Amino acid sequence: MSGDERKLVDTSGDFQYVVRNGEDVADPQWRSCRLIVTNKRLVLATNGSKQPIAHSKIRLADDAAELVPDAASGATALEVGDNVLLVDAPNVDDFETEYVRAALQGQVILAREQAVVGGVVQDDAAWSKARFQLDDGVVRLQFPGGGGLSFEVEDVGTIETGTSTVMGQQRTVIEVEHTDDQDRSVETHLSGMDHHTRALETLFTRVVEGREDDYELSEMESQVLMALYSGVSPFEMSDFVGTTPDEVEEIYQRLLDIGAVDEVRVRTEVALNAQGRNMASEAMSEK
């Protein structure tokens, strides 16, 4: 490995090609291997030979559910040109997430800090190169000149994917909502090369979708969440939504129970967390 290449995963596993040169493999066979993932490439090592594949040549498969058989439900589907291979690492809890983290670690991407603050688009927010790091659950972006941005990956409330002009080119943009050091809801927009944006989308989507979010909000609970999202003080909530303080207290307790808010004080005051901001955003989009 070169001096700036770092090994991030080294484990035993299996792989098989299910598509070669654009054609389905009639009888795919698993092969045992040593799986090595660095910040630059994936290596499949078998019987003294090594098959290195650069991250820039790998895409997470769009139709992974169709490609991975039930018997290999934990496998990760990777597209390499016109080929698709399945990689299974039973000793790694979540190989797909570990692979995505490795593919992004130390990479220079494009970032637009505080593109949206409190729901207001910041027209003066500019795109810049940024070095991406994810360590101990904290995303860190290092900008030229020494500036930086960090937030906990579990603090991500919503994620949207679209296309926009970035530094003169049409690119995929990942819009990530989180809070800043002033507890304001902000959006950081991320872009880069195709394999960067695919990895970023997978990383943050897995975080958001991994939360339990099947609770059906009542109309009043939706109003309270949207009011909190908009910055209404918990102490002013009953007047704002037109109900009694006791009912607001009961709603806060239910929102605490489902993990949509965090308790700030023993009584009355709560603050939206990532799941709550996600639920509030969905409630507002339905209005």
- Chain segment 271-283, per-residue pLDDT in tens: 778 878 888 777 7
Q: Are residues 132 and 223 located together in one domain of the fold?
A: no
Using DSSP's 3-state secondary structure scheme, residue 48 falls into coil
Using DSSP's 3-state secondary structure scheme, residue 95 falls into helix
Tokens of 250: 């009961």
Task: Output the domain CATH number for residue 224.
Answer: 1.10.10.10
Q: Are residues 120 and 205 located together in one domain of the fold?
A: yes
Query: By residue range, what is the domain housing residue 83?
Result: 7-104
Q: What is the dihedral of CA 168, 173, 176, 177, to 10 degrees?
A: 70
pLDDT score, position 279: 80
Name 16's Cβ contacts closer than 8 Å, sequence gap at least 6: 25, 28, 29, 30, 31, 85, 86
Tokens of 95: 């190989």
- Chain segment 153-211, per-residue pLDDT in tens: 989 988 999 999 999 999 999 999 998 888 888 999 999 998 899 899 989 988 887 76
Q: Are 19 and 31 in contact (CB under 8 A)?
A: no
pLDDT score, position 187: 94
Q: Are residues 245 and 224 located together in one domain of the fold?
A: yes
Entry pTM: 0.74
Q: Are residues 228 and 201 located together in one domain of the fold?
A: no
User: Among 159, 179, 209, which residue terminates a domain?
Assistant: 209
State the residue for tokens 């994810």: 134
Q: Helix 245-257 crosses helix 219-229 at what angle (to 10 degrees)?
A: 80
Question: Which of 53, 85, 55, 60 has its CA nearest to residue 72?
Answer: 85
Q: Are residues 146 and 115 located together in one domain of the fold?
A: yes
Q: Is residue 165 part of a domain?
A: yes
Q: Are residues 25 and 43 located together in one domain of the fold?
A: yes
Return contacts of 22-31, CB within 8 angstroms, 24+ apart: 22/82, 28/86, 30/88
pLDDT score, position 71: 59
Number of domains in the chain: 3
User: Among 189, 209, 229, which residue terminates a domain?
Assistant: 209
Q: Are residues 113 and 205 located together in one domain of the fold?
A: yes
Q: Are residues 189 and 137 located together in one domain of the fold?
A: yes
Q: Is residue 2 part of a domain?
A: no
Low-confidence stretches of the chain (pLDDT beneath 50): none
pLDDT score, position 228: 86
Q: Is residue 235 part of a domain?
A: yes
- Report the distance separating Cα 143 and Cα 55, nearest Å: 23
Considering only CA atoms, give the Rg of the chain: 22
Q: Which residues sit opposite 15 in a β-bridge?
A: 31, 87
Q: Are residues 91 and 15 located together in one domain of the fold?
A: yes
Task: Output the domain CATH number for residue 197.
Answer: 2.30.29.30
Q: Are 278 and 230 in contact (CB under 8 A)?
A: no
- Report the distance separating Cα 139 and Cα 278, nearest Å: 19
pLDDT score, position 178: 93
Q: Are residues 87 and 20 located together in one domain of the fold?
A: yes
